Amino acid sequence: MSKKIRKILGVSLAAALTVTGITGCGGSGKETKISTGEAKDSIVVAVGSDFGDFSPFTTSGSAVTVTYQIYEPLFNAGYNMEITPGLAESWEQIDATHYTLKIREGVKDSAGNTFTANDAVYVLNEYSKDAQNSGYVENIDLEKTVATDDYTLDLYFLQPNMYTFMNLSTLKMFTQAAWEASDDKMVTDPVGTGPYVLSDFVSGSYAEVEARDDYWDGDPTIKTARFNVISEPSQATTALETGEADLVMKLQASDAEYIDGIDGLTTLIDPSVQAMMMFFNMSEDSVFNSKELRQALCYAIDNDAINTVAYDGLASAAVCPFSTEMTDYVPELDSEMYTTVDMDKAKELVKQSGITEGNVKIATDGSSQETAIAEIVQSALIDLGFTAEINNYDSATIWDVAENPADWDLILNMGASPSGYGLDKLKAFLGFLNWSQWSGPEFDEFVSLYEQAIGSESEEEYTELEIEAVKLVEEEVPVYTMVQLSNIYAFKDNLNFQVWNRDGVMVKDLKFE
């Protein structure tokens, strides 16, 4: 019997504005079997990169895994991406742009400061000043949003927006008193209302958190959690096998079958909102200024082959411009350009483009997956009569490269969406970043459809506008998605692990059974 767990996320748009109960930890879909592990009150988690810092504004993946345990949001987008109460225990919609939030009373941070509605207002304003995170609050009317008393927050939006609550679930709350008392803006000494405090860390090595004895929501079963930085994937696998780790947050795909064959260990393959995308340089200086040539390459690429070669078959071939795990995916978005390899059609489109030769520069972040994908794309280009060079950069510089289209004709990038909505992702990459240099009436129409969609008053209206916007992207092809990824987690089989908020872990809900 396979020990592999497959978790499928599916949340309706309406759920984004509904207060519901958090799914219990027993609902992970794990098969029933006799545990071979021991019950204990500590856990060691292997993470793949250094933490950087522990401030509420950190965007480092490993740091966020730790700060989930220290800070809390007003609303949780936790298990199954449902919006549920956090520090805001309830809320009432007054009209399309006005909500009244009831802040949970008596909640203290780890320094003993009481969290109030005034602190929530302070945090919203601090996020508006942070370059990397200001987008999460760009739809908040900060002039009108006020605390009417210690535990009541009048929250105003600039316009109706289906994504705003999901974006707000990303914001980590803190008290003004703790923030102003911090010498380094909580980079090394975070203070939050969450169930744990940072007790020790060594940069590049580990971070350790300990359970608070005064946490408002009770005592966690796990009293100590240590997050070890293991950047080499094979070493993380070894750490789990030897018992040096209890949970690996990102197992490399090639080790999944091996781990599943070891008694006492199991894996969870979690379809992700992340997807591997290929951006076309649409500027006049690139061969991909031609829509027909962009379409031709898409018909020539075998997404199933990319999944097999680059991801050992543990991802999924794309069917539309974003992952089917996005909250707003509907089957009507699927396109044959994604699901069908048609070299005859591809070659006909090349002829229609009037561009039958040229050299294509492909940029990657240098990872083994992106390099393998680039080689498949290179082969497709050769079949269409072009030459192609692959230029491998690194993860630290690839975004800088993306912003300079003179360096590339095609660039690979793994993208998701903080809000969990696919249309929001497309707007971010094609509008805000716009690496593809898309412009003109079709671009203006896409932006208009997006703006109409996010202000929709019903799920039906949103979906109708979304389909029209996505079909426009599929026709113009500024970007093409090849595979939607899966996160692979590996852990001891007596641990009740569930994915928290897309790709995290909530230690307070864990226990060894």
Q: Show Cβ contacts of residue 308 under 8 Å, excluding neighbours closer than 6 positions.
A: none
Q: Report the alpha-carbon distance of residue 483 to residue 273 in Å, rounded.
A: 11
Q: Are 435 and 279 in contact (CB under 8 A)?
A: yes
What string of DSSP letters covers 290-343?
-HHHHHHHHHH--HHHHHHHHHTT-SEE-SSSS-TTSTT--GGG--HHHH---H
List pLDDT tens digits, range 246-269.
999 999 888 999 999 999 999 999
**Domain encompassing residue 430:** 272-487
Residues 132 and 236 in one domain: no
Q: Does residue 431 carry a pLDDT above 50?
A: yes
Task: Identify whether residues 302 and 391 lie together within a single domain.
Answer: yes
Q: Where are the beta strands (DSSP E) in 96-236?
A: 98-103, 146-149, 152-156, 196-202, 206-211, 224-229
Residues above pLDDT 70, as percent of the chain? 93
Q: Please give the Cα distance from 504 to 470 (Å, whole number).
A: 29
Q: Is 24 helix (H, G, I), strand (E, B) or coil?
A: coil
* Residue 430 included in any domain: yes
pLDDT of residue 182: 97
- The answer, yes or no, to whether residue 486 has pLDDT greater than 60, is yes
Tell me, yes or no, whether 116 lies in a domain. yes
pLDDT at 15 over 70: no
Q: Tell me, what's the pLDDT at 36? A: 54
Q: Residue 132 has what pLDDT?
A: 80
Question: In sequence order, what are the residues at sequence separation of 6 or more whose Cβ sits closer than 8 angstroms to the Cβ of residue 62?
Answer: 47, 48, 49, 50, 51, 52, 227, 229
Q: What is the mean pLDDT of the chain?
A: 90
Q: Does the pLDDT at position 23 exceed 60?
A: no
Based on the fold, state whether residues 326 and 474 are members of the same structural domain: yes
pLDDT band at 321, cuts 50/70/90? very high
**Would you say residue 395 lies in a domain?**
yes
| Structural domains counted in the chain | 3
| Residues 66 and 102 occupy one common structural domain | no
Question: Residue 110 maps to which CATH number?
Answer: 3.90.76.10
State mean pLDDT over 426-447. Answer: 95
pLDDT in tens, 106-128: 999 999 999 999 999 999 999 99
Give the model's confidence band at 39: pLDDT under 50 very low, under 70 low, under 90 confident, else very high. Answer: confident
Same domain, 63 and 111: no
Domain stop point among 122, 141, 173: 173
Query: Residue 377 sits in a domain of what CATH number?
Result: 3.10.105.10
> Does one domain contain both 308 and 233?
no
Share of residues in the chain with pLDDT > 90 (%): 78
pLDDT at residue 395, rounded to an integer = 79
Residue 180 in any domain: the answer is: no
- Does residue 134 surpass a pLDDT of 70? yes
Among 274, 414, 440, 283, CA closest to 361: 283
Helix (H) or strand (E) holding 460: helix 459-476
In this predicted structure, the answer to whether residue 425 has a pLDDT above a threshold of 50 is yes
Residue 464 lies in a domain: yes
Cα 47–Cα 48–Cα 52 angle in degrees, nearest 5: 85
Distance (Å) of CA 76 to CA 23, 258, 310: 12, 34, 33
**Mind listing the pLDDT tens digit for each residue in 141-173?**
999 999 999 999 999 999 888 888 888 999 999
Please say which residue of 111, 138, 173 terminates a domain.
Answer: 173
* Pair 137, 229 in one domain: no
Q: Three-state SS for 491?
A: strand
Last-in-domain residue among 141, 173, 205: 173
Residues 66 and 79 in one domain: no
Query: pLDDT of 172-183, one tens digit each?
Result: 999 999 999 999
Which DSSP category does 430 fall into? I
Assess whether 97 and 45 both reside in one domain.
no
Confidence of residue 2 (pLDDT cuts 50, 70, 90): very low
The answer to whether 508 and 41 have CB atoms below 8 angstroms apart is no
Q: What is the mean pLDDT of residues 191-199?
A: 98
2 found inside a domain = no
CB-side exposure of 38: number of CA atoms within 13 Å?
A: 5
Is 377 inside a domain boundary? yes
- Tell me: pLDDT of 55 over 60: yes
Q: How many CB atoms lie within 10 A of CB 54?
A: 25
Average pLDDT of span 447-453:
95
Residue 63 and residue 199 share a domain: yes
On whether both 282 and 384 belong to a single domain, the answer is: yes
Give residue 253's pLDDT.
87
Which pLDDT value is given to residue 416? Answer: 82
pLDDT band at 61 (very low <50, low <70, confident <90, very high): confident
Question: Is residue 19 a part of any domain in this protein?
Answer: no
Where residue 37 falls among pLDDT bands split at 50, 70, 90? low
Listed ranges 70-79, 193-202, 305-314; the one with the highest mean pLDDT? 193-202
CA torsion, ordered 314, 317, 321, 324, to nearest 10 deg: -60
Picking from 137-146, 191-200, 346-355, 414-423, which range would have the lowest pLDDT averaged per residue? 414-423
Contacts of 454 (CB under 8 A, 6+ apart): 159, 160, 161, 162, 163, 423, 424, 462
Whether 201 has a pLDDT exceeding 90, the answer reads yes
Q: Per-residue pLDDT for 235 more than 90?
A: yes
Say whether both 441 and 306 belong to one domain.
yes
When pLDDT is averaged across residues 215-244 and rounded to a whole number, the result is 96
CATH number at residue 245: 3.40.190.10
